Amino acid sequence: MRVTLFARYFKKLPDKLGKEETFRCRWGTVYLYVPGPAEAQPACRPPDGSETYYTVTRQICLKPGEQYTLIPDTLHWFQAGPEGAIVSEFSTRSTDDQDVFTDPRIKRAPEVAQA
């Protein structure tokens, strides 16, 4: 099983753009998916049962030392290669509460079930 980051973007606030993010591959291979022309033979696929929510298909392959910067409000997801990956993420500001996930099953705040 490969590790996958959920498809998401960061919503604009009335007085601020969403955050800019840079992903830098430290080890392994990571495949980043962003808007644009679809990869003819993608290296990755969304997790089974979640394909509907992974709608961006332009593939960016990052190897150790390579990085890619997303402009604000860019829908994206990524997945580690078969051997795994270590990725650092840098952003203009930490606004995780402004994440917008394409999969409605993803909840930012935990929900506690009543017994």
Number of domains in the chain: 1
Domain that holds residue 41: 4-11+18-90
Q: Does the residue 109 lie in any domain? A: no
Q: Does the residue 29 lie in any domain? A: yes
Mean pLDDT of 1-27: 68
Q: Does the residue 33 lie in any domain? A: yes
Q: Does the residue 44 lie in any domain? A: yes
- Measured CA angle at 110 (ends 108, 112), to 5 deg: 155
Burial of 40 (C-beta count, 10 Å sphere; 0-12/13-18/19+): exposed
Q: Does the residue 70 lie in any domain? A: yes
pLDDT single digits (tens) 23-36: 999 999 999 999 99
pTM equals 0.77
Q: Does the residue 72 lie in any domain? A: yes
Q: Does the residue 108 lie in any domain? A: no
Identity at 65, one-letter amino acid code: G
Instruction: Please report the sign of the dihedral spanned by the C-alpha atoms of residue 47, residue 52, residue 53, residue 57.
Output: positive
CATH number of the domain where residue 58 is located = 2.60.120.10
